[in-house]
Structures are given as structure tokens and as C-alpha cells.
Structure 1
Amino acid sequence: MKQFAFLITLISIIGIDIIAQDNTNRFVKPMKLSPSVSGSFGELRSNHFHSGLDLTTNRKTGYRIYASDKGYVSRIKVSPFGYGKALYIDHEGGFTTVYAHLERYSNRIDSLIRARQYEQKSFAIELFFKPGELEVARGEVIAYSGNSGGSGGPHLHYEVRDKASQKPMNPLQFRDDIPDDVRPQVQGMKLYCLSDDASIAGKRKDVFVPTVFYDRAFHPKGSTKFTAYGKIGVGVQVIDYLTGSWRKCGISTMDLFVNDTLVYNFKIDKFSFAESRYINSHIDYAEKKRTGKVIQKGFVEPNNRLSLYGVKNEYSADIKPGDKKIFKFVIEDFVGNRSVLAFTVIGEAPLPAKSIGKTNFIKVNYNKAFKLDTLGMKLSIPAKTFYTDIDLFVHKEDKDGLLGPVYIIGDKEIPLHRSMTVTIPVPDSLLHYNEKLLIAGVSSANKTYAIGGKVKDSELSVSTRGFGRFTVAIDTIAPTIKLRKAPENNNYSSRASIELIINDEFSGIKSYECLIDGQWALFDYDAKNYRLTGTFKHMPFLKRGQHELQVKVVDGCGNESLKSFQFSN
């Protein structure tokens, strides 16, 4: 019987090892380059968690990209924004791999996409395929690395997703060639007053404290003891690194214990894109806006619906006079490198009750829809736009040099999860501009920037996800169009492509169209560099000789530019 039990145990161990080994080596590496990670899975980005690995490409484009496993191309998307040129492959075993910011696709895939682009007369395109329509082999070259879309430099953005849910998961589960022997680095900690009667060190004020490392753990710089009263929260500023790399990465888990009781647990190994914006509640959004510090909170606001928490509470501890609470953060990266931060909070006497709350503010319940009609402006905010109740400030002021008053709505340090609708009146003297009108934001330096909106019944309305300062603006200036690095006499016979720069100074480029000798021609749009590129070999109708290129560009307010260029090839 003991021998049988031993055999079962041995089989189990071997089985587990085989599963782990199979998981690690399930996929072919997407590039044959020594891996250098510039962005990790779960890294904290603006308004979202990073959903994959960013693999650098030596500041170059054009490296071969290989299919991670056999399967079929399920989706292709080409866009001047976001992922740029992206390709999705569905595999057996319930996985999808994603390859983004590509320069181009393999020839057979590229020709298929180009045919559809000519059919739809659009550079931006999204295609979906069924099993058997566009199959790929394991290790097949499917594309070439690039810098397309919103990429900030040449690299491959690589994802592994659960095929059924399309939730991204950590690609490091599937490879073992990226060394990491560096523990997460705790740079600071913050204590928060979360109840009206809460105090820290005798003041109703949040406190940030840098941290230092000694005795194999992180500690608050200076004293490791604090005094507090009431419901308080704690958070940490923490980043991670890989071996031999200066590039910042994200952590994998964070636990908070108070007197050895787990009060908070966060783990990111898979998430939904639909919930990614809750990152603005996961972090201290206001601190990031003010100082750039990214602090992950050890408590969860009532409308933070991230699925990444196990244990969660709306505060970290409720401190009474004389209490002694030992706080301990345990933070790990994906491979298990661990960091610990510990400190003590002693209960202090409560402060006298506050006599007056905030004046000139409107209390908004996060769980209820809110409408406001005041000062000539209207505001409509759906329920669950905020992560907790907020104090809303609304004000109107006149500023020289602007076409109308400035409406100050809310605090830019308060994040919005959903869009609110802002409606402001249009002065009678401006109504004749009609579609040229839009709502603009006003910076602290009183410079305007376009937000958008439409006119209806003498009012401008726009949907926006940010508080700020709003006013009416006009855009009557058409976009600019010019050739980029044109050869002498516009003779392109020794060139592979023709390039243009298109730009709009205010409402932005809405659409463009390029015709050569009256026929629609495919021009790639690189929005971040304002560049259109027409590759001659991608224009099947084009013969050698003299040609006329007509370019039409329309901005967000309908201003249109039309320009013609004569060229030869």
C-alpha cells in the first residue's frame, strides 16, 4: 500500500513537472533576438494595466516575427492609433497570441489585407477570420517588427490571451529565457485619512514617507512608528526590475497584513480589458497628477470593481486610542522575488470634531446619476462615474482672449470612470459658425486645446472623461498638406514610396483620401508623426510615367484641404 501511495505521489510530481514544462515551452519565441523587456505584463500605465510584454528591437524595425504555435489568424486590425498593425492567432489549447505595432505582415497576409483595403478604400481596417481560412504553422514568419500605431519606439508588443474570454495573461508563464533575480523596489509609503474624524500624527492630512532598505527589508525612512486615529488607509510606491535592466516593470502580487491578519490582497495574472480603467482607483490618482508618484493603495474604494483583489476592505485599519497595529506589506514579482515593508501605528487621541465642511461644493454620491443646471451650463453624470463620493466644485469666470466664459467643473485630480456630458451656451454672435464650433479645454496657462462637441439649440455639448476648464472655441483653419523630402522635379523613379505630412493645429485630422490619376491609392497613415506613405508596389494600377496625386484632408470641424502634386516614377 505504501509502495502504491509512493507511486501515485511520484506520478503526480512528474505530471506536475511535465505540465509546467509543457506550459513553459508551449510557444515558439516571437523573435530570434536576445530578449530585452521594456514593458512587463501588469505594469501600471495611463488609464490601463499593460496587457503583454514589450520586447525591444535594437531601435530598429523589420525583424521577423514568428507564429508562437500552429493555428489560424482570427483577426487583423490596421489603425493609425493604438496597436497600429496588429495580428491575432488562435491556437489549440485555448490560447490567442497577439503581435502589435508591426511594420508589415508576411507577403501572403499582406496581399490579402491590401486587397481588402482597396475594396473598402481605407487604410484603417479590421478583419475577422474563421478556422481554416488563414492557417499558420508553428514558427512561420507572419510579420515584421515595427513602430506603428501609438508605439513610442520600435518594439514588439506581444500578448497571450485566454481564447474564450480574450483576457490577457502574463506571457512569462510561457517562457523561461528572461532572467529576474531582482526584488521589487519599495520607494515610498503613504498613510491616508479615510474617515471624517481620522488623523495622522495629530493632523487631518495624508502623509507620504520615503522608504529605505536595510536588514533585508524595506522600512520607512526615519521612524518606523506612526500615530493615527480613525479609519486610515496605507499604500506603497513600488516598481520592479528584471536582471541587468533599468526599465521599470510591474509587480505580480501585493498582500497587506495588520497584526498578522490579511486585510488586502492583489494579484495580477489575468484581467479583462473592460476593467482595466479601474487602475485609476487602484492607484492614488491625485498623487500621480500632482507629483508623478504612482502609489498602489492597500484599500479598495466602493466603486472599484477590479477582479484582481482577493481580500479587500474600504480602509486598511480602524485605529482607536492606545491601539498598536503592525502593518506589513509583502510584495512579489512574477518569479517570486519578495520584498517586505513593515511599520507600526499607535492609536492617538481623536481631534476635536470639525465644525465646518467644505463650502461651495456639491456632494455627489458615486452610486447615483447626477444632473446640474447652473451658471448657464449643464452637467450630466451617470451613476458609478466616480469610485467613491466626491465634492464637486463648479465655477464660471471670464478670461481675456477667449470667445466665451470659462466653466470650471470639478477637480482634475479626481478620475472619472465613465463619460459625463458637458453643455455650455454659445454666444449669439458665434452661432453662425455652426459646425466650426467646439468645446475646448483651457490649460493653467489659459491656452486652449480641442475637446469636441456638437451644436444643438444654441448650445454645445461634449462627452468627456475628465474634469477641467471648458469654453467655446472655433476652428475655421483647414489642415496643411505638403510633400516630405520630395526629390528634384518630383521625380520618384529611384524611390520606393512617396511621403506627405498632413497636420491640423486644433480639432485634429478626421479623414484623408489620396487619388492618383483619379484612382484611390493606399497611403499608410502614421498619426503620431503626421505622415502619409504611399508605397508604389502597393498600387497595382500604377504604371511608370507622369502622374497627378490629389490629397484631400478633413479636420474635426469639417475644414477641408485639397492639394494636387505632379510627379513621375
Structure 2
Amino acid sequence: MKTLLFFLLLSASLFAQNPYPTDYFRSPLDIPLFLSGSFGEIRANHFHAGLDFKTQQKEGWPVHAAADGYVARIKISPYGYGKAIYVNHPNGFTTVYGHLSKANGAIEAYIKKAQYDQQNFEVEMFPAPGELPVMKGDTIAFSGNTGGSGGPHLHFEIRNTISEKILNPMLFGFDKQVADTRLPVITTLMVYPIGAESVVNQCHKPQTVNMALQPDGSYIADKILVSGKVGFGISTYDLTDSNYTKSGVYQVEALNNGSPVFSYQLDTFAFDEGRYVNALLDYGKLKNTGMRIQQLYMEQPYPLSIIRTDKSNGIIEATPNLAQNYKIKISDAHRNAISIDVPIEYSDLPAIDEKVGVKKTAYLLKSANDNNYTKDNVSVFIPANTFYDDFYLNFDVKDGKLTLADDSVPVHSNFTITFEDTSTPEKDRDKMFIASIEGKKLSYNPTTRKGNNFISYTKNLGEFVLAKDTVAPVISHPNFKEGKWITKQSTLELTIRDNLSGIKTYNGWLNGQWILFEYDYKNRRIIHRFADNMFQDGRNDLKVVVSDNVGNSAIFETHFFRKKQ
């Protein structure tokens, strides 16, 4: 009852009074702000945690501290946010700046010192409050394309410093800096029969519903004839002014005959909720067609804090002699809004298609329980709540190959796969791992060994085998020629790759001293910058060692000449 009351109060006003300061933070960039990603936008296995600002397809724009504070965390990684800086502010919020090319001044010197002290490109540091203070507007870094970035841009976040919950920067006045007078766009409306006996437009299967655009910008859908229960889903996106990049919407609200039944509003969420995006989506359709249909109902509730529902969890039941109007309202962060009206009418017309069959197996997985499966030399342990729904699991072991469901089933958390092997000679066992089979390719799953058992904690489904990797990585394509003078070059670069278990470590030494190589995994390049001043006048001897995840190593040795300028 409390949840429903809160939902009704929330729905009474599209946008509640904003409790956040709207003039405290400045823009982190001194160029016009255009979005390449919005807060809460649906991404692979997560909701996007900030705003992505375009940087005119360039790297190197000055990135400014959004307010006074101090650098509280620095994380440098080839993956994720790449080079990222976290600044704590005295008003209780933290700003995050990701995919940077490099830091500036004292911050960059602090990072380089840690990397050389730890002899590692990948570092994470938590400076004390007085170590790296910043003032509002200070240049703390430069924009880039590091980590998992798909192109040059700045990832910007605001978090609650204590709870670490992520907050929508639009609530802090950034809506005034990103021009948006354009309406959200709806591309698809889906209706889903709920339960084996439900029928929609004389069909048991989910259907796409036609929509007609009205002069006021709203939509009216074709009438839906229903027997039983149904739920709805939409595909939608938003556009901002002078920008044709599609981004996510801010609020979706569904009502039946004027009463709220399902909604979400993207003000804040916690990081550990992000994977529930797979429960919100029609995950099977995503995997089979690439379409991202957000389902506005829950057959089996999941604890995503942004969602509010009525007691039926957004599921609608048709009633004889009672016409129903289902309305979906979609808004962006600038209050641009559209709606769809969906007429619903009870019908007892029989279905003209066959019921959607459930492919039964010997293993009914109950998602709320721990589940353990064993055959031959393979066992799988699936903890409770690893999956969102109950389903018949495809589990089999044949000729040493494990088959475990397929990737059309969403997985929320790790489960355990164990292969027992007693036949492989001891000398080869350190080179073995549990591999996923992807067509003709094998891919590495992090694997530990305990005696005869090889164990992997994974979220991957599909086919698995116990594989062996005895081939070392390959180091190639240096950006210089052996024995040549390269005084005018600013970097040393090499390509590194491994075709099976993957790269784990990469290290370089110049004249016997460890040097920093940055790893750009997207281009398979490692890069040393001569600005580190680790070379000497004249001849320089370079040694690079690259190891894969099972310990195979490759060594590359060469020399070049360089003069200090």
C-alpha cells in the first residue's frame, strides 16, 4: 500500500520539485555541450551512469573541475572508463570524468609516479583530501578515447559521495546547457499475452501494434482485442537540438483508465542495480533481433529501485463489457513529452494460431532456489537469484562439451562451472582453462585450478570445453626500425595480440630500467611516451615481455638511437 501511495503521489506531478543545486557545478568543457549518451540510457548489461559529451571527434580538450574540491580517486585501466578522475566536493557530491587522454599538472605527475612505483599501467589510487586540491574551473585533465569508449568523448557523472548512488546531472542544471526542444520518438509498440490461455487479436504470440500520429504529436494505437492478461512494451529514444545522436528518455509512465500501473523516472540508481536492465528488456528479442523493447510490466518482480507499479505489476486484464484505455507517456529531461493511447476491448474470439509451446527439458530451474547440475566430469552450481525467471534449462555434457542454456536467457550474477580432469599430464595443466565455444572460436573464461578441478565463475551461457593454450602472444609492428635514429618520434609503439587465452601482462625495459607502456586494447597497441624521459643519448636497448592468461610469454628485443633535445 505504501508503494502504491508513493506511486500515485509521484504520478500526480510529472516532475517533482528539484532538491539539487542547479548553479553549483560548471560545465567540464568549454565547448558547446552535445550529448552522445544520456543518463540511464540502456546499454549492454547496464544503465548508463552519466552524460556523454561529444568532443567534436577530437581528443585533447581541456577538462575542468566542475566545482572546488579535491581529487579523491584516480583509476587508470585499459577498460571501462579508461583514465578516470573522481573529485569530491564540500556539498556532498562527487564528479567523475572518464575516458581521459591524460591528467594535467600535479595530477598527471601523481599518476606517473604511482605507475612507475608499482611498475604497472593499471593503477587505482585514493589521494588524501589535502593532496590534490582543485578549484572550480581548473584544468584537471584532457579529453580522450581511453577504455571502453567507442569514440572521442567525455563521460561525466555526479554521485552522492557517501552512498555512491549515481545522480542525473540534468537535475543539477545541465539541462540548461544542453538545448532540447525536440520530442522523444517511439519506434515500436508491442503487446504480450501473459499466460498460456491469453489471446491478443486472436493470437497467442506477442505482436507489434500499429500507431497513428495525431496533429498534436501524440499517437493512437489500433484497438487491441484481448482475452485474459496482457502487458505492453515500447522501443523509444530521444533527440536533442542540433544533434542526431539517439539517446535514452527520462521518464516512462503507463496508466490504465487514468490509474498509474507502471513507471520509471531516471533521477538516481545504484551501481549494483545496473544489470536489472536485462529484466526490464525483452531480452530474447534483443538477442534475436537487436531491438530494445522495454517491458512495462513484471511477470516476476525484480528489485530495480526506479520502477513503481500497482499491485498487478503493470499487467492488464481484459474485462467483458468494460472498455479500457491504456496510455503510455514518455518524457525527456527537458519536459518534452509524447503519449500513446491504446484502446483495449474484451473479445472471446478464438485464437487462430497455436499456443506458444514451452520446450521442456529434464531440468526445471527455479530461480529463487540454489540449483546444482552434474553429469560425467562436469558440474554447474547456480545460486538463487542468478536468473530472473523460472525456466527449463538445457543442460547436457557430451564428448567433454558442456551445453548450458543459450545467450537468449538473461543472467544476473555469476554461477560456477567445474570441469574435473584426471587424464591430462601434470606438465600441461597450468596451460588449461574453461573456454566458451563461439562458432569455431574459443574464448577464455577466468579459471582457477584446485587439484584435478578447473573452476570458472562466469555469467556466460552456451557451450564450454576444457581447452589448452600453449602458444605465446605475438609482439609485432613496431613504429620504428631497429638500429635507426628516432629522435623526432614522440612514442614507442608495438602491436600485441593473443589468439586464445588473451593478454594478461605487458612490460617493457629500456636499458634495463622498467618503462611505462599504456595498453590500447581496441587497437591492440602498447605505447610508451618519450616525455617520460627514460631514454639515454645514443643507443637504447628495448626489451618487451608479454604474457597471456595461462603464462605463455613472448619476448621482443631490439635497439634504436635517440638524442636528447
Match of 1:71 in 2: 69
Match of 1:83 in 2: 81
Pairs within 5 Å for 1:330-369: 330-349=329-348, 358-369=359-370
**SS of the residue 1:310 aligns to:** strand
The answer on whether the counterparts of 2:262 and 2:297 sit within 8 Å (CA) in structure 1 is yes
Letter in 2 for 1:88: Y
**SS of the residue 1:367 aligns to:** coil
| Aligned with residue 307 of structure 1, among 299, 305, 308 | 305
The answer on whether the counterparts of 1:492 and 1:568 sit within 8 Å (CA) in structure 2 is yes
| Aligned with residue 556 of structure 2, among 554, 560, 563 | 563
Match of 2:431 in 1: 436
Pairs within 5 Å for 1:474-493: 474-487=468-481, 489-493=483-487
1:26-49 alpha-carbon deviations (Å, 9 max, x no partner): 212111111121111111100111
Match of 2:544 in 1: 551
Residues of 1 paired with 2:503 and 2:48: CA distance? 27
Match of 1:134 in 2: 132
Match of 2:456 in 1: 462
Match of 1:298 in 2: 296
Match of 1:185 in 2: 185
1:261-281 alpha-carbon deviations (Å, 9 max, x no partner): 111121111111111111110
The answer on whether the counterparts of 2:371 and 2:381 sit within 8 Å (CA) in structure 1 is yes
Letter in 2 for 1:349: D
The alignment of Structure 1 onto Structure 2 pairs a total of residues equal to 542
Match of 1:13 in 2: none
**SS of the residue 2:116 aligns to:** helix
Shift of 1:204: 2.2
Question: What's the TM-score, normalizing by structure 2?
Answer: 0.90
Match of 1:8 in 2: none
Pairs within 5 Å for 1:202-351: 202-219=202-219, 224-312=222-310, 313-349=312-348
Residues of 1 paired with 2:378 and 2:468: CA distance? 18
**SS of the residue 2:467 aligns to:** strand
Task: Mark the CA change 1:350 to 1:475 in structure 2 (over 3 Å): closer, same or farther.
Answer: farther
| Aligned with residue 404 of structure 2, among 409, 426, 447 | 409
**SS of the residue 2:307 aligns to:** coil
Letter in 2 for 1:370: N
Percent identity over the alignment is 32
The answer on whether the counterparts of 2:262 and 2:314 sit within 8 Å (CA) in structure 1 is no
1:318-342 alpha-carbon deviations (Å, 9 max, x no partner): 2345543221101111111111011
Letter in 2 for 1:289: K
1:197-254 alpha-carbon deviations (Å, 9 max, x no partner): 2222233211123544223355466xx1112222321111111111122111111111
Shift of 1:458: 4.0
Letter in 2 for 1:421: T
Task: Mark the CA change 1:565 to 1:357 in structure 2 (over 3 Å): closer, same or farther.
Answer: closer
**SS of the residue 2:197 aligns to:** coil
**SS of the residue 2:86 aligns to:** strand
The answer to whether 1:534 aligns with 2:528 is: yes
Shift of 1:171: 1.4
Residues of 1 paired with 2:118 and 2:145: CA distance? 24
Residues of 1 paired with 2:520 and 2:301: CA distance? 38
The answer on whether the counterparts of 1:322 and 1:348 sit within 8 Å (CA) in structure 2 is no
Letter in 1 for 2:524: Y
**SS of the residue 2:243 aligns to:** coil
The answer on whether the counterparts of 1:256 and 1:263 sit within 8 Å (CA) in structure 2 is yes
Task: Mark the CA change 1:201 to 1:427 in structure 2 (over 3 Å): closer, same or farther.
Answer: farther
Residues of 1 paired with 2:226 and 2:468: CA distance? 52
Letter in 1 for 2:342: F
Residues of 2 paired with 1:93 and 1:211: CA distance? 47
Shift of 1:172: 2.0
Residues of 2 paired with 1:291 and 1:483: CA distance? 38
The answer on whether the counterparts of 2:214 and 2:220 sit within 8 Å (CA) in structure 1 is no
The answer to whether 1:419 aligns with 2:414 is: yes
The answer on whether the counterparts of 1:264 and 1:309 sit within 8 Å (CA) in structure 2 is yes
1:382-402 alpha-carbon deviations (Å, 9 max, x no partner): 0011112222112345xxxxx
Match of 1:3 in 2: none
Letter in 2 for 1:424: F
**SS of the residue 1:51 aligns to:** coil
The answer on whether the counterparts of 2:360 and 2:392 sit within 8 Å (CA) in structure 1 is no
**SS of the residue 1:263 aligns to:** strand
The answer on whether the counterparts of 1:377 and 1:422 sit within 8 Å (CA) in structure 2 is yes
Which piece of structure 1 moves more, 167-176 or 378-387?
A: 167-176
- Please tell me the root mean square deviation across aligned C-alpha atoms, in Å: 2.5
Residues of 2 paired with 1:70 and 1:530: CA distance? 38
Shift of 1:354: 7.7
Residues of 2 paired with 1:315 and 1:351: CA distance? 25
Shift of 1:366: 1.4
Match of 1:53 in 2: 51
Shift of 1:511: 0.7
| Aligned with residue 28 of structure 1, among 16, 26, 29 | 26
1:45-82 alpha-carbon deviations (Å, 9 max, x no partner): 00111111111111111111111111111111111111
**SS of the residue 1:82 aligns to:** coil
The answer on whether the counterparts of 1:194 and 1:315 sit within 8 Å (CA) in structure 2 is no
**SS of the residue 1:490 aligns to:** coil
Structure 2: segments with no counterpart, 5+ residues: 1-15
Task: Mark the CA change 1:94 to 1:350 in structure 2 (over 3 Å): closer, same or farther.
Answer: farther
The answer to whether 1:471 aligns with 2:465 is: yes
Structure 1: segments with no counterpart, 5+ residues: 1-15, 398-403
**SS of the residue 1:528 aligns to:** coil
1:366-417 alpha-carbon deviations (Å, 9 max, x no partner): 11111111354311100011112222112345xxxxxx54322113211010
Letter in 2 for 1:40: S
